[in-house]
């Protein structure tokens, strides 16, 4: 009887640890996504619109 | 203007730095939208914003046009001839563009870095490389350097990513003396 109880207790503990890991993993991922979204919303509109074609010019002006 | 960056080019030394420039010159590289501004217009700015009639006293501060294709080479030569006809001897060299080495971060967006608005850009772009590549940062740096008009600023102010406080500061700086 006590052996069965011990096994049941162990299984419950493992299940709780697994659930905890999943919960915190998801929660952290959501936070990261929120931060990325927040950073993106700060990007100036002018930087978000790139022209189709660009050229480069290089000068030295003394 | 999409992007601006200062750096070193024209020489042979690999990975030059400001304190160890080798045979390079201090340069500016501009990435632009050719449907908004032409290379010839950029050359007009080039010829009118420095004095190419003075013999450079060092290669570091010489006058160069580094052309990226044949069309740029031809326009550079043509406008140099026009300048010579008007102003006499021109010491600008027109040579093919080689490897461009970006200058150290503290040289980039120099006016912006010295202003109150830098804090807002640091928040927008924690990574300095993104700040250097930013069109908004280039525009604001240009306005702070005395370029552009109040009307031009008003047209694009909302697109620069500044807070209302930042917008007011920039508007005051640009519109009070221009």
Interface with chain B: mutation pick from A45, A50, A55, highest number of B CBs within 10 Å: A55
- The CA distance from B66 to B154, in Å, is 34
Q: Which two tokens stand for residue B44?
A: 């007009």
Confidence of residue A23 (pLDDT cuts 50, 70, 90): low
State the ipTM, two decimals. 0.92
Count how many Cα atoms sit within 13 Å of the Cα of residue B65 in the half-sphere of its side chain.
Answer: 28
- The CA distance from B175 to B150, in Å, is 5
Name the pairing type of β-strands B63-67 and A55-61: antiparallel
A5 touches chain B (CB under 8 A): no
The alpha-carbon radius of gyration of chain B (Å, integer) is 18
pTM (2 d.p.): 0.78
Q: B143 near B172, Cβ under 8 Å? A: no
Q: B40 near B72, Cβ under 8 Å? A: no
User: What are the extents of the domains in chain B?
Assistant: 3-102, 109-177
Architecture in CATH for domain B3-102: 2-Layer Sandwich (3.30)
Nearest CA in chain A to B99: A58
Per-residue pLDDT of chain B (178 residues; tens, 9 = 90+): 899 999 999 999 999 999 999 999 999 999 999 999 999 999 999 999 999 999 998 999 999 999 999 999 999 999 999 999 999 999 999 999 999 999 999 999 999 999 999 999 999 999 999 999 999 999 999 999 999 999 999 999 999 999 999 999 999 999 986 6
Q: Which two tokens stand for residue B140?
A: 């604001």
Contacts of A53 in chain B (CB under 8 A): 33-35
Q: Is pLDDT at A38 greater than 50 in this prediction?
A: no
């Amino acid at each position: 009887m006590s052996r069965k109880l011990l096994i049941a207790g162990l299984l419950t503990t493992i299940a709780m640890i697994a659930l905890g890991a999943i919960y915190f993993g998801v929660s952290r991922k959501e936070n990261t996504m929120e931060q990325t979204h927040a950073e993106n919303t700060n990007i100036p509109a002018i930087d978000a619109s790139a022209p189709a074609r660009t050229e480069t010019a290089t000068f030295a002006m003394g | 203007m999409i992007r601006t960056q200062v750096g070193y080019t024209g020489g042979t030394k690999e990975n030059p730095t400001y304190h160890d420039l080798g045979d390079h010159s201090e340069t500016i590289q501009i990435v632009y939208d050719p449907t908004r501004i032409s290379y010839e217009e950029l050359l007009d700015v080039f010829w009118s914003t420095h004095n190419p009639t003075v013999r450079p006293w060092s290669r570091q501060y010489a006058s160069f046009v580094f052309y990226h294709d044949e069309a740029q080479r031809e326009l550079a030569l043509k406008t140099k001839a026009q300048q010579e006809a008007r102003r006499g001897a021109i010491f600008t060299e027109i040579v093919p563009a080689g490897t461009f080495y970006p200058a150290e971060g503290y040289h980039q967006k120099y006016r912006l870095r010295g202003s109150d608005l830098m804090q807002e850009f640091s928040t927008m772009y924690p990574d300095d490389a993104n700040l250097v590549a930013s069109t908004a940062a280039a525009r604001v740096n240009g306005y702070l350097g005395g370029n552009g008009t109040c009307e031009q600023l008003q047209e694009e102010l909302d697109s620069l990513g500044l807070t209302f406080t930042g917008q007011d500061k920039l508007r005051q700086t640009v519109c009070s003396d221009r």
